Amino acid sequence: MQSIIKKYAARAVPRYTSYPTAPHFSADFQAETYAGWLAATDASQPISLYLHVPFCKQMCWYCGCNMKLAARYAPIAAYVEDLIREIELVAAALPTRMQVAHLHWGGGTPTALSPDDLTRVMTAIDRHFAILPDAELAIESDPRTLTDAMIGRLGELGFNRASFGVQEFDPEVQKAINRIQPPEMVERTVTRLRAAGIERINFDLIYGLPHQTTEKLLTTIDRAATMRPDRIALFGYAHVPWMAKNQRMIPDAALPDTAERARQAEAASTALQAQGYVAIGLDHFALPHDPLAEAARAGTLHRNFQGYTTDVQETLIGLGATSIGRTKQGYVQNITETGAWARAVGAGILPVGKGVALNPDDRLRAWVIERIMCDGAVDTEAAARRFNVAADWAEAELLALTPLEADGILERDGGRITLTPEARPLTRLVAAAFDTYFQSGRARHSAAV
């Protein structure tokens, strides 16, 4: 199977955190349309919130996120004011004071905010929304800049999950990606977070980094596993220097080749499972007691812009520049440039940059792709019944998967397809067969493995 994975590993395919994927959102999308979608939200059902902070105190060369280096605090302070205004705008467009089941801060580095400013934003959320007692409150952070004062404040505010990038502990790799973060630093951060009552810890690890080898990655996994994070996400480094200018600091020659990337992915997956983690979807691992592992066992796992999730809410509202939200009607992305986003908010306009309304075919394919990404299997005939379409709707897609079936990547039983366990790294490749936008589009994507 290693040779088969190598054969397909370099093919560029989307990550499928949505369908249609973000490159296919339209700039010809009006704030008034989004306002109508918000007004039509089911007031009886909880929603989820995502808050984006596009600032970091230190730059990492590998990062592909929309972020700004904050040399001064003044831009962050101004951003906080505008974020609170956006919360007020969105709340006013909703039918009632909505209940919140999931809240996630991402970035950038949300803990670049001061503890008092984080409190101000959370107070604004409490004023306009009703956070459920058992809601998950999660925040991303950076161990290099996370202070004791912020950790204490996170505990006081009720955060119950924290995640941060470990990426790789090897000093040569850390220097190459401009993220010097010794394991002792991460251990201290984990200990302090748990002492503050934030017991659910997530780590991000990355393979395919410059100067990284399989041996270095396995050493990192051994050290990370001693800290027993509840979840570990294992991402393949996406080298997209045409999108992320900071990645131009990483020379192509320093990157592992396709075969080495495939070895790293396979060896890391094996090692994490040997450490007691359950493999979930394409690239996540969780301890057996974690809700993510329980959802995977129950077949209720979902996927959104934060990756694999237990969030079952139909409405996810994105707040902050570049954030993406989802309603029953479709997807909305805020303006990505912070100045333009702030001007829209200041004018009392929902800061919409792009969006897409879902048609019946989108909903069908979104469900199929999500099940492939979450379960590694899907029944196209069951999908036909679910969405009231012809039983042979996927005839062309199933035919296109024939070469993958011949290579042992998947098995077919009528309309049901199941990825073989060894072919898990190629999940996105199978999902892409059902993506009509990808088949006809020109968007550039990262390698499959």
pLDDT tens sequence across 125-169:
999 999 999 999 999 999 999 999 999 999 999 999 999 999 999
Note the pLDDT of residue 444.
55
Mean pLDDT of 28-48: 97
Whether 350 is covered by a domain: the verdict is no
Query: Does residue 181 sit in the same domain as residue 226?
Result: yes
Looking at residue 352, what is its pLDDT? 98
Residues 312 and 371 in one domain: no
pLDDT at 170: 97
Tell me: do 250 and 367 sit in the same domain: no
Amino acid at 412: R
pLDDT bucket at 439, cuts 50 / 70 / 90:
confident
pLDDT digits (tens, 9 = 90+) for 312-323: 999 999 999 999
Same domain, 311 and 372: no
Give domain status of residue 23, yes or no: yes
- 262 — pLDDT class (breaks 50, 70, 90): confident
DSSP secondary structure string, 103-169?
Answer: EEEEES-GGGS-HHHHHHHHHHHHHHSEEEEEEEEEEEE-TTT--HHHHHHHHHHT--EEEEEEE--
Q: Are both 387 and 297 inside the same structural domain?
A: no
CA distance 133 to 34: 29
Could you tell me if 311 and 368 lie in one domain? no
Confidence of residue 63 (pLDDT cuts 50, 70, 90): confident
- Give the CATH number, domain containing residue 396: 1.10.10.920
> Do 320 and 364 fall within a single domain?
no
117 falls within a domain: yes
User: Which of 263, 298, 324 is at the close of a domain?
Assistant: 324
Domain-located, residue 336: no
- In which band, very low, low, confident or very high, does the pLDDT at 68 lie, cut at 50, 70 and 90? confident
The CATH code of the domain that includes 117 is 3.20.20.70
Mean pLDDT of 399-424: 92
Collapse the DSSP code of 378 into the 3-class scheme (helix H, G, I; strand E, B; otherwise coil) and give the result. Answer: strand
Mean pLDDT value of segment 323-348:
97
pLDDT-derived band at 446, boundaries 50, 70, 90: low
Kindly state whether residue 246 falls inside one of the protein's structural domains.
yes
Tell me: pLDDT of 445 over 80. Answer: no
> Per the domain annotation, does 406 fall within a domain?
yes
On whether both 366 and 411 belong to a single domain, the answer is yes
Residue 354 belongs to a domain: no
Of 297, 324, 351, which residue is a domain's last? Answer: 324
Residue 5 lies in a domain: no
Shared domain check, 434 and 305: no
- The region of weakest confidence among 100-109, 144-153, 233-242 is 233-242
- Report residue 246's pLDDT band, with 50, 70 and 90 as the boundaries: confident
- pLDDT at res. 6: 73
* Number of domains the chain contains: 2
- Entry pTM: 0.94
pLDDT of residue 90: 98
Last residue of a domain, one of 278, 306, 324: 324
pLDDT at 42: 97
Confidence bin at 448 (pLDDT 50/70/90): low
Nearest Cα to Cα of residue 332 among 31, 15, 42, 89: 31
* Per-residue model confidence (pLDDT) at position 139: 98
Question: Can you give the pLDDT at residue 447?
Answer: 61
Instruction: From 171, 149, 290, 306, select the one nearest 235 (Cα to Cα).
Output: 306
Mean pLDDT of the chain: 94
Residue with more model confidence, 259 or 81: 81
325 and 37 Cβ atoms separated by less than 8 Å: no
- The pLDDT tens digits of the residues spanning 382-399 come to 999 999 999 999 999 999
**Residue 354 token pair:** 């792009």
278 and 378 belong to one structural domain: no
Instruction: Print the domain residue range for 387.
Output: 359-440
Q: Are residue 282 and residue 400 in the same domain, yes or no?
A: no
Q: Are residues 259 and 368 in the same domain?
A: no
Read off the tokens for 114. 């001061």
